[in-house]
Amino acid sequence: MPKKELNQWLSPSLQKEVNLLKNLIQEVSNPKIKNLLLFAVAKSCLEASYVSFCPGTTFYPFKEKEEFWDLFTKKVIQIYQDLEKVHRHHHYGKSILINDTCLNAQKYIQPESIDFIITSPPYPNDLEYTRQTRLEMYLLDFVKSMNEVQQIKRKMVKSSTKLIFKESQSESFVQKFTEVQSISEKIYEQTKDKNWGFDYPRMVREYFGDMYLCLQAFFPLLKPQANFLLVVGDQTIKGVYIPVCDILIEMGKEIGYRNCRKELFRIRRSTGHKILLPEEMVVLEK
């Protein structure tokens, strides 16, 4: 992580402690245990850092935090206890982690092989997820430079204006969805006189373009009658209501999913306005 940015996130003493511990962990010979310990370092370092996600990234250099070593010790004990529970049940099956965008699912998963999908995709809420995980990505050596962070950003669902690049073109896939176009125009009307430099109208089109491509990518991979469940919330941008769930349902139908519906999960209150925002489970059946 560039030194200047790192200083924003971590106090100099915390940086020293973390480096010391990371070096000690390098001596652990079992790679699985080493990785678990590094994972605990990253998580406890984040908790001891200046950062707070609420929901954007905010830094509070003067906020008192729990001691890094205490956090780390608790984390390791928690991981140990969790693993003990997992070991008691042998029916969890094998997990595979695919480190790529969901839009490339067809490269890794056989046609008609999926029984059920459950996911919590991004919402069009302008959250830039690499900001949320940047510290951990650097600490665990997933990225070494801002350029590598940019490569990850280019593959993400465009739920934030900061994830749109010149070459982004997912919006071309949702021209036929009039509701997406009309919401984008309404947001344009709300924002046209303000020079923020952030293109919210385009973000909405790009976001739904990516979600359309995602629903389309998984369709051939699901077994017949398998369900695709997405936990997703409606959103407002600059006062314009975005019925995210209804739009995903409309897209699902257009792709060929059947029995498309939503079930209320909870109602969210926003800090910025009085509109209540439902969070629902969108269910699409192949």
Ligand X SMILES: C[S@@+](CC[C@H](N)C(=O)[O-])C[C@H]1O[C@@H](n2cnc3c(N)ncnc32)[C@H](O)[C@@H]1O
Binding site for ligand X (CB under 6 A): 101-103, 120-122, 129, 155-157
Provide the token pair at 84: 């003990």
Rounded least distance, CB 102 to ligand X, Å: 4
Minimal distance in Å, beta carbon 136 to ligand X?
12
Q: Return the number of the residue (186 or 228) whose C-beta is nearest ligand X.
A: 228
Quick one: 39 or 129, whose CB is closer to ligand X? 129
How far is 29 from 14, CA to CA, in rounded Å? 25
Cα–Cα distances in angstroms (integers) from residue 28 to residues 6, 19, 76, 242, 259, in the given order:
26, 15, 15, 50, 52
Nearer to ligand X, 15 or 236 (CB): 236
* Residue 21 or 123 having the CB closest to ligand X: 123
Nearer to ligand X, 122 or 124 (CB): 122
Those residues with Cβ within 8 angstroms of residue 166's Cβ, 6 or more apart along the chain or in another chain: none
Q: Minimal CA–CA distance to 60: which of 70, 52, 72?
A: 52
Least distance CB 214 / ligand X (angstroms): 7
Q: Which is nearer to ligand X, 101 or 216 (CB)?
A: 101
Shortest Å, Cβ 130 to ligand X: 8
Shortest Å, Cβ 232 to ligand X? 8
List the beta strands (DSSP E) in the chain: 51-53, 57-59, 114-119, 222-233, 235-237, 240-242, 258-269, 276-285
How many other CB atoms are there within 10 angstroms of residue 152's CB atom? 18
Q: What is the DSSP letter of 170?
A: G
d(CA 15, CA 19): 6
Smallest distance, ligand X to C-beta of residue 156, A: 4
